[in-house]
Structure 1
Amino acid sequence: MREVTDAFFYFSHMLKNYIFDLGGVILDIRMQNAYEQFMALGLPATELEKGGSAYKWMEDYQLGLLNTQEFCQQIADKCSSTTKPLNIEQAWNSICLNIAERKLNALRRLRQREGVTVSLLSNTNELHWEYCCEKWFNANGNNQADFFGHIFLSQELHLQKPDPEIFRTAIRTLNANPSETIFIDDNAENIATASSCGLQTLHATPDIDWVESLNL
């Protein structure tokens, strides 16, 4: 695996493309929030387990195989009789906690570097993406173009990590040299797949802060 090391940063000026994951890297998340709220609305816990209907709908929604209305209505139908699609939307968005201003500032600075592209590549869905734009990327005078030149979302591509094709699609779209491209993610499997596609990688963990590691 071509994971970034301290020695690598001696040559960091060679990087021309930065591709970031969203949840767990830029956005602080807690998936359990939605599960807890779904169950409080009457959704059986077995529905959230692998093989359950709700689990499959979450996967399909992330891949763009269900639209927002379908996703919320189908889960609401599995909850108590008083549950509305709006309740599902609110529970689902409770996953999204915060984006630290220091991370937004780091992305801004990186975006302003000459000859560098900054992209987002995320397994995400319409509700979460619109929530992030409303709360952070397009809020308080911000514009998502301040942070990203290209945005690759699983819901639009009908592909999700760790499928290597989603990384190949990004590289083709950017017309990028993989060796001059770094991918930052909090998931080890995604990091391994990106590395197998020839990208440099940085595995963001509680002990590895990408803002510091990338000298931003």
Structure 2
Amino acid sequence: MLKNYIFDLGGVLLDIRMKNAYERFVALGLPPAELEPGGFVYKLMEDYQLGYVTSAEFCEQVASKCVSSSNTRCAAPPTTPRDIEEAWNSICLGIADHKLQALCKLRKTEGVASVSLLSNTNELHWEYCCKNWFNANGNKLDDFFDRIFLSQEMHLQKPNPEIFKTAIRELGASPAETIFLDDSAVNTAAAATCGLQTLTVTPDVDWIKALGI
């Protein structure tokens, strides 16, 4: 019997479009090579997600890599950290109200011990989600989750099995009685190696129907 539910954020609860930030970064003058494996900004994004750099450092360092137009007649102003923050948060499209309602309903279901969030995310995206959805329109973050596990705070990220083991340990839960939902098959496979039940959420999989909420 399932007693514990652990949700990923982006792609499961939060609608996202990763290309938004990349396209806007390039439009701000960031060389595309910076966003490829081996690029400085590519590595910086991973370090930021793991909580090894602050939001201010992230935005300042990405901005420093942006190159203004060489056309002196209509040169664009230098890219600012605020420009980077806005471009970065453009990834986050929205959280549908029916998903928030489903989380609340699930927490009130008899036999459910915990509903948690486990996400590879960063401070700017997390604060943006809280401001616009989890703590907005009369909502409170505590309405939706018993525990929150974020890569930026744990210094761990999926698909490292240790992030799942840590969550299970801190929940005091049985892996066999816990399900993890993610939009990445790589991540659900990693969770399965830790004994968790899993559901890979795709455009063809409605997790609300799948869980019978």
TM-score (norm 2): 0.94
Structure number, greater radius of gyration: 2
Candidates 91, 102, 120, aligned match of 2:117: 120
Does the alignment pair 1:60 with 2:47? Answer: yes
Residue number in structure 1 paired with 2:17: 30
Q: Deviations over 1:127-179 (max 9, x none)?
A: 00000000000001100111001000000000000000000000000000000
1:105-184 to 2 correspondence within 5 Å? Answer: 105-116=101-112, 117-184=114-181
Give the paired residue count.
Answer: 203
| Distance in 1, Cα, partners of 2:88 & 2:183 | 21
1:115 deviation in Å? 4.0
RMSD: 0.7
Candidates 87, 90, 94, aligned match of 1:94: 90
Please tell me the residue identity of whatever aligns with 1:147.
F
1:197-216 to 2 correspondence within 5 Å? Answer: 197-216=194-213
Runs of 4 or more consecutive aligned structure 1 residues displaced over 6 Å after TM superposition:
none
Residue number in structure 1 paired with 2:62: 75
Unaligned runs of 5+ in 1: 1-13
| Distance in 2, Cα, partners of 1:64 & 1:141 | 29
| Distance in 1, Cα, partners of 2:65 & 2:148 | 33
Please tell me the residue identity of whatever aligns with 1:129.
W
Q: Deviations over 1:77-109 (max 9, x none)?
A: 001351000000000000000111110110010
Residue number in structure 2 paired with 1:195: 192
Please tell me the residue identity of whatever aligns with 1:41.
L
1:114 deviation in Å? 3.7
Please tell me the residue identity of whatever aligns with 1:84.
T
Unaligned runs of 5+ in 2: 69-77
Q: Deviations over 1:36-92 (max 9, x none)?
A: 000000000000000000000000000000110000000000013510000000000
Contact 2:31 2:67 in 1 (8 A): no
Partner SS for 1:43 = coil
Identity of aligned residues (%): 69
Residue number in structure 2 paired with 1:11: none
